[in-house]
Amino acid sequence: MPDAEDEPLVDRQLQPSIRNLTGLFALPHVAPFYAGRTLAAIGIWMEQLATGWLVWELTQSGTWLGVIAFLRLAPSLVLGPVGGALADRMWPLDLMRLCKVGVVTGYILLAAFLAANLLSIGVLCFLVFAIGSLQSVANPANKAFVWHLVPKAWLPVAIPVGSITFNLAAFVGPAAAGALIAWQGVLAAYVVTALLQSIFLAVLFSISLKRPQAGELRVKESQRESLGRSLAAGARYVMRDESVRTVLILHLLFAVCARPIIPLMPAVAVLLFAGNAQTVGLLTACIGAGAIVGGLWLASRSRVEGLARLLLAFMLLLMALIAALAMVREPVIAFAILFVVGGCMIVRAAGTQTLLQFAVDDAMRGRVMGYYNLFLKAGSAFGALAVGALSDVFSLSIALIAAAALGAVGLIAMGRPFLAAGHKVEKSAFI
């Protein structure tokens, strides 16, 4: 952990500064952890594009593409909370290592079966589902581990940086996969994916953090419960803790009303701007670019104080921007809107995780982050389904405006209790 001269920063907030980014990476284990996680995320994006291309080559079927997408998503709806409970019952780093061993094995099998001409669509579905299941179990531990990786004063920096690396991977991964597939084929993309995942696995085993003594006692106590009781305890905790419950409700509201804009981007490009696949890429890239800028700004802010008010303002702005996007017909204006949308989204995501990290009891950290993942995945899926269905009945513009209006009404209705809960977390964060 930090040197003795830095120890007081554990109990007080950092001063806003862009230099905090370099300070974060100077902490033990942080630079290799984030570098390894970025490489692993690039590999995931590469594999997704490669698998989609391979499925199309094998089947020429949009239905099979949908099946593969479902098999990636479905495990998180069930296994996300289970992964959270496991993260509370064992050291999160151990759970991450265990799951990553399985993920690396899965990617190696993908490459091996394809090299041997044995990768049928059935085998591919099984491996995609297995890898998705392991990643769903590991995700809550990945988020919970940040609390142990850095002193809590650095969390307002570390969490946005984690979001930035994800968006960087979303840029690099598909582009690298496309070039590699065109040059050497799908097998090369699978081999590189397995290599990148293996690097992160090696990083995880290189981290030598010790379990906090108090945390060890809590783990021992939680291990006396069955997994089912542990899950039930997590659900009761979320329902009873006002601060955690309120933050998660607004998280779910975002997932239902705003997050569907991303999977519906092809429809936005075609129906609103008469575009094509290139238009989809440009619109999506604008969101990613805005996300990187927003993440850098939030990381340099480096504070918990005032975060709840900031989140509420950015979420209201996000709803207004989605409604505006539905009404414009000039792509250049849409690019600008989506750039700001990306910034709002990453501030909301990283800010929400930061509030939750400070609000939750350590014994419940993994389970709460499991529900965070569950609400995001399930809310996005059902929100996209509702907005898509509404667009078929009326129009995409009306559907987006309706979703944004519903989100704004929900934010206004929940604004006062959210600010009260957020201020409570902010005041107690460094006591």
Confidence of residue 7 (pLDDT cuts 50, 70, 90): very low
Superfamily of domain 27-224 in CATH is MFS general substrate transporter like domains (1.20.1250.20)
The pTM score is 0.81
Q: pLDDT, tens digit, for every residue of 145-193?
A: 998 899 888 989 999 988 888 777 877 777 787 788 888 888 998 999 9
Query: Residue 414: which residues within 8 A CB-CB, separation 6 or more?
Result: 246, 249, 250, 253
Q: What is the 3-state secondary structure (H, E, C) of 100-121?
A: HHHHHHHHHHHHHHHHCCCCCH
pLDDT at 137: 92
CA–CA separation, 234 vs 365, rounded Å?
A: 9
pLDDT at 211: 67
Phi, psi of 28 (to 5 degrees): -60, 135
CA–CA separation, 33 vs 45, rounded Å?
A: 18
pLDDT at 205: 95
pLDDT at 5: 38
Reported as type and span, the H/E element at residue 6 is none
Residue 198, exposed/middle/buried by CB under 10 A (0-12, 13-18, 19+)? buried
CA 267 vs. chain centroid, Å, equals: 23
| CATH 1.20.1250.20 domain position(s) in the chain | 27-224, 236-431
What's at 73, amino acid-wise?
A: L
Mean pLDDT over residues 368-381, rounded? 86
Confidence of residue 80 (pLDDT cuts 50, 70, 90): confident
What region does 175 belong to: left with phi over 0, alpha with psi -120 to 50, or beta?
A: alpha
Confidence of residue 6 (pLDDT cuts 50, 70, 90): very low
Confidence of residue 246 (pLDDT cuts 50, 70, 90): very high
**Helices 331-359 and 396-428 sit at what angle, rounded to 10 degrees?**
30
Residue 149 contacts residue 25 (beta carbons within 8 Å)? no
Please give the CATH topology (third level) of the domain spanning 236-431: Growth Hormone; Chain: A; (1.20.1250)
Query: Residue 71: which residues within 8 A CB-CB, separation 6 or more?
Result: 125, 128, 129, 132
Tokens 């519906």 found at: 264
Distances in Å between the Cα of 272 and the Cα atoms of 26, 35, 286, 345, 384 are 46, 38, 16, 21, 17
Going by C-alpha positions, the residue among 238, 251, 256, 245 that lies closest to residue 353 is: 251
